[in-house]
Structure 1
Amino acid sequence: MANFVLQLPTSNLRSISVYASSNGAPPGTGSQNGGPVVLELPLEKIRRPLMRTRANDPNRVQELMDSIRQIGLQVPIDVLDVDGVYYGFSGCHRYEAHLRLGLPTIRCKIRRGTKETLRHHLR
């Protein structure tokens, strides 16, 4: 199966990269069980429901900031899309490093989910 990269201009970003399989469906559509899509999302669009209960290691955040400055983000964070609202459940250190660097976006591996899936993650 072939993959493609699509660059889309946006008003508040230089571009958005969309990575998806060539199954014929446009990004953001398709079945619930379709594979994840990788997108560059604005940080302010990602809700971090677990940030209040987990503390980040400041040394790890600093290491990531240094790495991101030099070579960019190597591994996207995992995000759950529930009815068009994005919830981040992994990648807390990478997310905080982006915040501290003042970067407007972060690369995310997005999976679609239901409200029940979200409740399961919040337990």
Structure 2
Amino acid sequence: MTSIHTGSNNNIVELDMSELIRPIPPVLDMNKVNSMMETMTGKTPPASCGLTSEDLEAGELPPVDVLTFKKSGKPYYFAFGGCHRLRAHDEAGRKKVRCKLVNCSPNTLRLYLGASANKFLDSD
């Protein structure tokens, strides 16, 4: 299963959880998080999630879509979704998460964050 926005994007990397900026507080269904944690241990994903074991490598979840841009050579990574996958990784004690990087412009970031984007975009 892939995002309609990033279906053809294969720019998948592992990032440290601490590198992700998550500007929107998550609202979580812990049953979903627990199910994802079971999938991470190799259990077959439940039919309700729309994935099959053929869609994933054993013990993996789909990558989280992450917007990224560089400022003064430093990359910034913004996760606006994937909150259940990120929490499952956190609960399982995994420090790294697979992310599908989507390059964005400052204007795109402003669409997501409004005036809050200024703290990332203003000159040093």
Same fold per TM (> 0.5)? yes
- Corresponding position: 1:78 with 2:65: yes
What is the percentage of aligned positions where both structures have the same residue? 33
What is the DSSP-based 3-state SS (H/G/I as helix, E as strand, rest coil) of the residue aligned with 2:41?
helix
What is the DSSP-based 3-state SS (H/G/I as helix, E as strand, rest coil) of the residue aligned with 1:90?
coil
AA at the equivalent of 1:41 = L
Tell me the CA shift for residue 36 of structure 1.
5.2
Aligned to 2:34: 62
Aligned to 2:4: none
Higher strand share: 1
Cα distance in 2 between the residues matched to 1:120 and 1:100: 31
CA contact (8 A) 1:36 1:111 kept: no
> Cα 1:118–1:36, aligned 2, differ >3 Å: closer, same or farther?
farther
- Corresponding position: 1:47 with 2:34: no
Q: Which runs of 5+ in 1 are unaligned?
A: 1-34
Cα distance in 1 between the residues matched to 2:112 and 2:32: 24
> Could you list the per-position Cα deviations for residues 33-82 of structure 1 after superposition, in whole angstroms to 9, with x for gaps in the alignment?
xx5511011110011111x2x31111100100111122322310000112
Cα distance in 1 between the residues matched to 2:18 and 2:36: 20
Q: TM-score, normalised by structure 1?
A: 0.65
Aligned residues: 87
Higher helix share: 2
Q: Which runs of 5+ in 2 are unaligned?
A: 1-8, 43-57, 115-124
Aligned to 1:32: none
* Structure 1 segments of 4+ aligned residues over 6 angstroms from their partners: none
Cα distance in 1 between the residues matched to 2:28 and 2:106: 27
AA at the equivalent of 1:100 = E
- Corresponding position: 1:87 with 2:59: no
What is the DSSP-based 3-state SS (H/G/I as helix, E as strand, rest coil) of the residue aligned with 1:93?
helix
- Residues 1-123 of structure 1: matches in 2 within 5 Å? 35=9, 37-50=11-24, 52=25, 54-70=26-42, 71-83=58-70, 84-122=75-113
